[in-house]
Structure 1
Amino acid sequence: MFKILSTKSLNICIASLCRVKNLKKAEAVLIDGIRVGILPDVVTYNTLIDGYCRFFGIDSGYSVLDRMKEAGLNPDVITYNTLLSCASRYRLLSRSFDLFDEMIEVGILPDVWSYNILMHCFFKLGKPDEAYKVFKDIFLRNITPAPATFNIMITGLCKNRYIDNALMLLRNLQRNGFRPELVTYNILIDGLCKSGRWRSAKGLLKEMLDFGHTPNAITYTIVMKCSFKNRMFEEGLEIFLEMKAKGYTFDGFAYCTVAGALLRTGRIKDANECMGNMFRSGIDLDMVCYNTLINLYCKEGKLDDAYNLLDEVEKMGFECDKYTHTILIDGLCKAGNVKGAQRHLKNMNMMGSGTNLVAFNCFIDGLCKLGQVDYAMQVFESLKVKDEFTYSSMVQGLCRVGRFHLAAKLLLSSIKSGMRILRSDKKAVIRCLRSSGFCDEAKKLQSKIRLAKLLYY
């Protein structure tokens, strides 16, 4: 009895050390335990394998297997599942197959978690068809699936943009007696929101409530983010207030999401109050929070305060990311400081993160609003990648300076590039042509737009 308890204590001690990445000390504790007669068991070595896999990779974890066998202990299904999890984490599909084969060779039958891990690996590699084969194999081998099996399958389908298949799977499972958990609904609602299917997400939310599930902080956050994404700011803020009323705690990301939405609607005072609440709640600030604060200062026109905060952030060991530079580019352009904005664009290029289209869109928009349309056009033409907002900034800028014909050409070229033009851009160009006496050209442009949409969309 003493030995069993001592081995248990040894395992707890090793697990604690592995959790804090102190593998050397864990190994020393193991040696000391053996020296005083406390023999390790399979759990001891499984704990070490998990620690090495988590922090040093699969080869380090696999090397513990030999020591395990030398100690006269045989690996079990948990041993191999730990190694499979590591292989899946690093997307090592061939290694996962090798581990599966090895399990069977040594007489260990894979359990439901072995299949869950393999299925998850296929999804991570963007192979949903292969993952579905593994899912079917679970039933063919008469293995009882766990609720996590269905959640992994539904999550994988959603992340690979097979949202309809995920919904069909849910309905098939329900017909066979499966009662979805709250987490299942959260996964599907998140998938629907990300694919822009707000009405379907609301329908599923209602179904979840009808089944007696109480939404948690994750549910609220998903729906709140979706509301803001779909520019339903009032609905998003209502959800935020409902969460507060129900006593849910917020992380920095939730506060920043709300503050960002308030800034986009010009509600700077409310955004200030939101960030003040975040400070008072004692949340540890990360770069996302600092970026939101810098954005707030820029929106208020307090560029000096933004740069002072930036200095403090750098002193604390944080580094500017592409979002920081983008926020400052936008703020500097609005303040008429083109040279300052150029400097940040160069800094972004030096970061080696590739062309940040959002930053260039802000720069082009700023140049156009400052009347520097020719320079904006040079930047526009230098970009290899453009989106509808790049074209929109340029079209609106050209309309402001009366260059309607060039704006019309640009509008048509965006459609021919397969992009959906913004309705406001089309209206602006046609209105300007008509007001300048080019009514026939405005009619021709409308016809050309309709034809281009048929050909290129």
Structure 2
Amino acid sequence: MMVCGLSTRLLNICIASFCKSRLLGKAEAVIIDGIRVGVIPDVVTYNTLVHAYCQFVGVDAAYSVIHRMKEAGISPNVITYNSLISGATRNRLLSQCLDLFEEMLQEGIHPNVWSYNILMHCFFKLGKPDEANRVFQDILLSDLTPHPATFNIMINGLCKNGYTDNALMLFRNLQRHGFVPQLVTYNILISGLCKAHRSGQARKILKDLGESGHEPNAITYTTVMKCCFRSKKFDQGVEIMSEMKSKGYTFDGFAYCTVIAVLVKTGRMEGANAFMEQMINNGIELDLVSYNTLLSMLCKEGKFEAAYKLLDEIESGGLLCDKYTHTILINGLCKAGNIAGAQQHLHYMNMMGFHDNLVAFNCLIDGLGKAGRIDRAMELYNSMEIKDSFTYDSLVLNLCKDGRFLCASKLMMKCLRDGMILLHSTRRALLDGLCSSGFTNEARKLKLKFRLARMLR
């Protein structure tokens, strides 16, 4: 009996290894070979197979294993059905989840807390928070003891379905009833608050986390930091990064570049240079994203000679510049009024095989318009195969500045026919220009078109 038990255990270890490597055919062959030499598979054997089929093939293939289990005289258990329900949830198959749950009950198998957790997650995933809440209430009213993951699923699901206030209330209520949240719970709530653009509340929870005895990790800090940057609370974002550094967290190139880009955007070049120097001193190898950030910084400072040297450094270092790299330089040249240099670099881009250069074209059109060369901007516009709302927005606004309101109106009409609506400030400038120039009928027609466009959206 000991030999048989040990052999089945070894069989299960072999099958688990093959399943993890996605070699399901070999796992099946091991079961057949095991039966031939007298090693009898057990429920763990088949549950391992069910889980692997759910992950790598599909729920139907996994479900077929149940019939083979029964033929071998082995009854599926709650773990079998949990794997199947989880697989159906992964594929957003709600009706199949409910059918499997019902079948489990009919087979006399009692669902455990994980069965309910998976079902609750499925409802949230499919945008049915009321049904998920009913499952949560069933857990609380049953003899089952909720797992910390139960509360995490509930808080995460409420946040993702737009019920951040409810998630926050649940979190506070659970604390009042003795629930001690772990770091993962705090991270889920902080992430939900950040996605709802509630950076102030997220920072308050971060403070609570520090007072709870748990230590925030890199994920916690990075989430709040990015939220502050998105909310344009740049000083607070940089403060959080400084706090991370003081606690000894290591930074990758992406984290450094995020902060450097923000500092460049807000004109704090000294701070950006300091972070870039620190990044290099810490031995972080510069990737293309890092180089693009540095290039943007040089262009913003007007150091174009250094920017061109950096391009040479990127290419000599074995990295291939992308469209974004070249577009940064073109945009910088346009903003500095060096239209000839921007045109020359756009030509170089085309020679290098970058043909879909919509953003670069838009930068040049805007630069030409602001430099008073609106006819050249129109020529460039006519040569473009693809245009977007930025193309039209720049042209219409610059035509208005040049007093060519009828031409701008025709362009706006074409834009509306193509299903694009430009910025409110651009539309207002055109309507005001038409009215002040005596083209009131044209302004009236355009207003009507704007109303129709809004109704059709």
TM-score (norm 2): 0.72
Equivalent residue, structure 1, for 2:161: 160
CA RMSD, 1 decimal: 4.6
How far has the Cα of 1:293 moved from its partner? Answer: 4.0
How far has the Cα of 1:231 moved from its partner? Answer: 3.2
Equivalent residue, structure 1, for 2:35: 34
CA separation of 1:185/1:375 partners in 2, compared to 1, >3 Å: closer, same or farther? farther
Equivalent residue, structure 1, for 2:446: none
Q: List alignment gaps of at least 5 residues for structure 1.
A: 314-319, 349-358, 439-451
CA separation of 1:10/1:201 partners in 2, compared to 1, >3 Å: closer, same or farther? same
d(CA) in 1 for partners of 2:92 and 2:210? 37
Equivalent residue, structure 1, for 2:129: 128
**36-45 or 260-269, larger mean C-alpha shift:** 260-269
How far has the Cα of 1:153 moved from its partner? Answer: 0.9
Equivalent residue, structure 2, for 1:108: 109
How far has the Cα of 1:54 moved from its partner? Answer: 0.8
**290-299 or 184-193, larger mean C-alpha shift:** 290-299
Equivalent residue, structure 2, for 1:74: 75
CA separation of 1:246/1:59 partners in 2, compared to 1, >3 Å: closer, same or farther? same
CA contact (8 A) 1:361 1:393 kept: no
CA separation of 1:77/1:328 partners in 2, compared to 1, >3 Å: closer, same or farther? farther
Equivalent residue, structure 1, for 2:177: 176
How far has the Cα of 1:30 moved from its partner? Answer: 2.1
How far has the Cα of 1:242 moved from its partner? Answer: 3.7
How far has the Cα of 1:171 moved from its partner? Answer: 2.0
CA separation of 1:64/1:259 partners in 2, compared to 1, >3 Å: closer, same or farther? farther
Question: Deviations along 1:78-121, whole A, 9 cap, x unmatched?
Answer: 11111111111110111101111110111112111111111111
d(CA) in 2 for partners of 1:59 and 1:255? 46
CA contact (8 A) 1:193 1:226 kept: yes
CA contact (8 A) 1:255 1:274 kept: no
Equivalent residue, structure 2, for 1:352: none
How far has the Cα of 1:19 moved from its partner? Answer: 0.9
d(CA) in 2 for partners of 1:175 and 1:340? 65
How far has the Cα of 1:55 moved from its partner? Answer: 0.9
d(CA) in 1 for partners of 2:422 and 2:189? 29
Give the 3-state SS of the residue equivalent to 1:14 in structure 2: helix
CA contact (8 A) 1:259 1:275 kept: no
Equivalent residue, structure 2, for 1:203: 204
Give the 3-state SS of the residue equivalent to 1:370 in structure 2: helix
d(CA) in 2 for partners of 1:193 and 1:14? 42
CA separation of 1:92/1:236 partners in 2, compared to 1, >3 Å: closer, same or farther? same
CA contact (8 A) 1:259 1:274 kept: no
Equivalent residue, structure 2, for 1:91: 92
Equivalent residue, structure 2, for 1:148: 149
How far has the Cα of 1:46 moved from its partner? Answer: 0.8
1:24 equivalenced with 2:25 (yes/no):
yes
CA contact (8 A) 1:119 1:135 kept: yes
d(CA) in 1 for partners of 2:67 and 2:120? 28
d(CA) in 2 for partners of 1:304 and 1:259? 22
Task: State the AA in 2 paired with 1:370.
Answer: L
Equivalent residue, structure 2, for 1:364: 362
CA separation of 1:94/1:260 partners in 2, compared to 1, >3 Å: closer, same or farther? farther
Equivalent residue, structure 2, for 1:442: none
d(CA) in 1 for partners of 2:407 and 2:7? 79
CA contact (8 A) 1:50 1:83 kept: yes
Structure showing greater Rg: 2
**134-143 or 18-27, larger mean C-alpha shift:** 134-143
d(CA) in 2 for partners of 1:158 and 1:52? 31
d(CA) in 1 for partners of 2:208 and 2:17? 42
CA contact (8 A) 1:373 1:397 kept: no
How far has the Cα of 1:312 moved from its partner? Answer: 5.4
d(CA) in 2 for partners of 1:23 and 1:37? 21
Question: Deviations along 1:147-201, whole A, 9 cap, x unmatched?
Answer: 1111111111111221111112112222322222221111111111222211111
d(CA) in 2 for partners of 1:378 and 1:129? 53
CA separation of 1:78/1:180 partners in 2, compared to 1, >3 Å: closer, same or farther? same
Number of residue pairs the alignment of both structures matches: 410
d(CA) in 2 for partners of 1:168 and 1:344? 56
d(CA) in 1 for partners of 2:213 and 2:288? 39
Task: State the AA in 1 paired with 2:209.
Answer: M
Task: State the AA in 2 paired with 1:216.
Answer: N
TM-score (norm 1): 0.72
Equivalent residue, structure 2, for 1:212: 213
